[in-house]
Amino acid sequence: MAFSEDLKERIKKIMSKYETKQSALIPVLHEVQREYGWLSLDSMKEVAELLSIPPADVQNVATFYTMFFTKPVGKHIIWLCRTLPCALRGAQQVEHYISEKLGIKPGETTPDGKITFFEAECLASCGTAPVMLVDDELYENLTRKKIDELIEKLRAD
């Protein structure tokens, strides 16, 4: 894999904001993931080369944080909070409902590649539990009706 000139330019711009190239690792990984949807081994190697760090260091960071995907994911990502306040407000029933609707379990992607469903720890909106993050948008006080509408929208996209 070779990054496009455009992506390399964006990476250089990110690196220029940091004192050392290595400090730019996390934002660079975000940029690469934005471009490809996930971080392949080849793209991690290329990041390592650009930042002059060992590929294993890049891989360690990419596999440590749940926000980085090291295998392909769907076009849309659902993160359902499962921490206690959400659990007390029905997160487990929400999980079952979403799994049933999508025909997948947490950690899986729908066969059409549209939606990946993950469980998450507290999304910092406990007062409006149960909540989920879909792509970058927070959905609160979840009900079956809200979930139905949202999934319909994601499937149509």
Contact between 131 and ligand FES per CB under 6 A:
yes
Strand boundaries in 75-152, DSSP class E? 76-81, 108-109, 115-120, 132-134, 137-139
Q: Which one, of 120, 94, 110, 107, lies nearest residue 155 by Cα?
A: 110
Going by the DSSP 8-state scheme, the letter that residue 116 receives in this structure is: E
Binding segment (CB under 6 A) for ligand FES, from list 39-47, 61-69, 123-131, 149-157 = 123-131
Contact between 81 and ligand FES per CB under 6 A:
yes
Contact between 85 and ligand FES per CB under 6 A:
yes
Contact between 83 and ligand FES per CB under 6 A:
yes
Q: Are residues 79 and 123 in contact, defined by beta-carbon separation less than 8 angstroms?
A: yes
Alpha carbon distance 86, 82 (integer Å):
6
Contact between 80 and ligand FES per CB under 6 A:
no
Strands of the sheet containing 115-120, edge to edge, are 108-109, 115-120, 76-81, 132-134, 137-139
Contact between 7 and ligand FES per CB under 6 A:
no
Among 73, 86, 142, 147, binds ligand FES (CB under 6 A): 86
How many residues line the site for ligand FES (CB under 6 A)?
11
Contact between 123 and ligand FES per CB under 6 A:
yes
> Footprint of ligand FES on this chain (CB under 6 A)?
81, 83, 85-86, 122-126, 129, 131
